[in-house]
Amino acid sequence: MLLSHLRRHNIVTGPLARNTSHSGLSVIFNSVCGFKQFSGGEQFLAFGNALHERWLISSFVRTVTAAEEKLLKGMIESLKKHVIACALIKDSEREQKIYDKLNGVEVAMILDIKQVRKKTGADLKTTACTTYKEFLDSAIKYGYFRQGKTYKLGARLQHFYFIGISKTPPHPVFILYVNDHKEEEQYAEQELKFLLYFYKHYGKTVMPTIRDNHLF
């Protein structure tokens, strides 16, 4: 039996009762494909969280360095000047935690922006990209379309956007409307189905050691 083999070689945990998330499924995706896992570190995540706090909920709980504060100020000024970015957060619920079962698997989601009446959602992304083309390529590379599909299904949305804000001055803003990219969204949906099936039947992947990384 495949599950017994994978567990015996410490490749998967086996089915789990707990829920998963987009990031959890991304770990499985990277493991199965032999890709490097996310290695941005706590500082990278803290900066992104600080931006979310400051722009989405006007909170300054997270402390940052003086240099980071200056950078955040410039990024937020760009977001506040961007017509579409501002339209997307108008009359919205923000940082909403959602749980929903997708293909029999409970998935946890934190939805940055949800406009209930418009059935529209959006996710804020910091990026090193300086052009829309670079941001689109990055979105495909890092599974944004799969995230968008997950959130559309879980939050019962018809429209989903990614708001990219460059960390490079003058901090251009990129608006990626998922619905405009049907081929990428359809492909992402098939990825999502596979990853949900994998998690449901095999659980999480276990990080391989140097000795047994040939098993992937």
Rg of the chain's alpha carbons, rounded to an integer?
A: 18
- Other beta carbons within 10 Å of 88: 21
Q: Domain of residue 6: give its range.
A: 2-206
Average pLDDT (79-102) is: 97
The residues that bridge with 122 in the sheet, in sequence order, are 113, 161
Residue type at 167?
K
Strand partners for 93? 114
Q: How many domains does the chain have?
A: 1
For residue 23, the domain's CATH number is 3.90.320.10
Q: What tokens were used for 184?
A: 């990428």
Q: Which amino acid does the sequence have at 50?
A: A
Q: Which residue has the higher pLDDT, 38 or 26?
A: 26
Report the distance separating Cα 185 and Cα 200, nearest Å: 22
Residues 6+ apart with CB under 8 A from 85: 79, 163, 173, 175
Nearest to 155 by CA among 73, 95, 81: 95
In a domain, 91, yes or no: yes
Give the chain's count of helices (H) and strands (E). 8, 6
Q: How far apart are CA 56 and CA 103, in angstroms?
A: 31
- Indicate yes or no: pTM above 0.85: yes
* pLDDT (tens digit per residue) in 42-88: 666 889 999 999 999 988 888 889 999 999 999 999 999 999 999 99
173 — phi, psi (to 5°)? -110, 135
Q: Residue range 156-172: average pLDDT?
A: 98
Is 77 part of any domain? yes
134/166 Cα distance (integer angstroms): 11
pLDDT tens profile 107-150: 999 999 999 999 999 999 999 999 999 999 999 999 999 999 99
213 domain residue, yes or no:
no
Burial of 157 (0-12, 13-18, 19+ CB in 10 A): buried
In a domain, 215, yes or no: no
